A = this chain, B = another copy of it.
Amino acid sequence: LAELAARGLSGLGELVEGADLGELIARALQAQHPVRPLHDGQVVAIAHKVVSKAEGAVVDLRTVTPSPRALELAAEASPTPLGEHKDPRMVQVVLDQSRELVRSAKGVLVSRTHHGFVCANAGVDASNSAAPEIAIVLPRDPDRSAREIRGRLRELTGAAPAVVISDSFGRAWRHGQSDVAIGCAGLNPLDDWRGRTDSAGMPLRATWLAVADAITGLADLVRAKDSREPVVIVDGLERFVTPGDGPGAAALIRPLEEDLFR
């Protein structure tokens, strides 16, 4: 009866640089479902941290010398809303990952990353790492990462699911964080109903569903934060899965000229 179903994938193991994430996912799926590990219409939702680790998108803070600007921003941003002291080396990594600093106030750095994502700390994170001196940054090209993982899953299982890679972003006007898609392949990231009509024949004026983001959000609900289940498999979204890799999560980025809050 369920129209949508999702489950976490366990048994992925600890990720190291150079790991073949597609193969690890395929193996874990085969262990769970030996006969048919993966279907074409499924969505494989992956928390970006394992992608970053596998790709070596990490920075050893011991190699970072903060610039005067990073020292100044760290001092201004301390204490953070959580009462912590901002590490100037982390601020330097954030600046290195940013195209533009959008806001710096009240202990929060909001920046536009090189990819074009607007988020706190350019997506740089130290959490969930067994090494406190290592900062995890976003993958260099998360849409390419998603395409590569999708290609590898197809090689190994014969199925071509959609792949979506997520990060947790804070929101300007709401508490808490929401997972959003930073990369995807084989997925229609936006379902555009603008200009179409509803079941009563009336125009649906502003219905433009950010499918990829909603999928990452539901995956995060399934994923318990303290478990090692970075991968979630979603069934029931066949209508959004495409044979080709499609435009990726880049299609979700609102261009600079439409930014009302710059």
Contacts and interface: CB of A to CB of B under 8 A. Distances in A.
Q: Number of copies of this chain in the oligomer?
A: 2
A2 to B, nearest CB: 4
A15 interface: no
Contacts of A260: 103, 105-106, 108, 110, 172
A176 B252 contact: yes
A177 interface: yes
Interface in A180-201: 180, 189-191, 193-200
Contacts of A252: 174-176
Nearest to A32: B1
Contact of A174 (B3, B177, B253): B253
A64 interface: no
Contacts of A220: 209, 214
| Most central of A132, A189, A210, A237 by chain B CB within 10 Å | A210
Interface in A207-262: 207-211, 213-215, 217-218, 220-222, 225-228, 235-237, 251-254, 258-261
Contact of A128 (B84, B128, B198, B261): B198
A143 interface: no
Interface in A111-167: 112, 117-118, 120, 125-130, 132
A11 interface: no
B210 A177 contact: yes
A118 B171 CA distance: 11
A74 to B, nearest CB: 15
A82 interface: yes
B210 A228 contact: no
Given A172-B118, A180-B174, A206 B125 contact: yes
A198 B225 contact: yes
A178 interface: yes
Contact of A103 (B7, B176, B177, B261): B261
A208 B176 contact: yes
A205 interface: yes
A172 B206 contact: no
Given A178-B178, A202-B127, A196 B226 contact: yes
A167 to B, nearest CB: 11
10 contacts: A82-B194, A105-B260, A127-B206, A132-B202, A168-B209, A173-B261, A177-B206, A177-B207, A207-B225, A209-B221
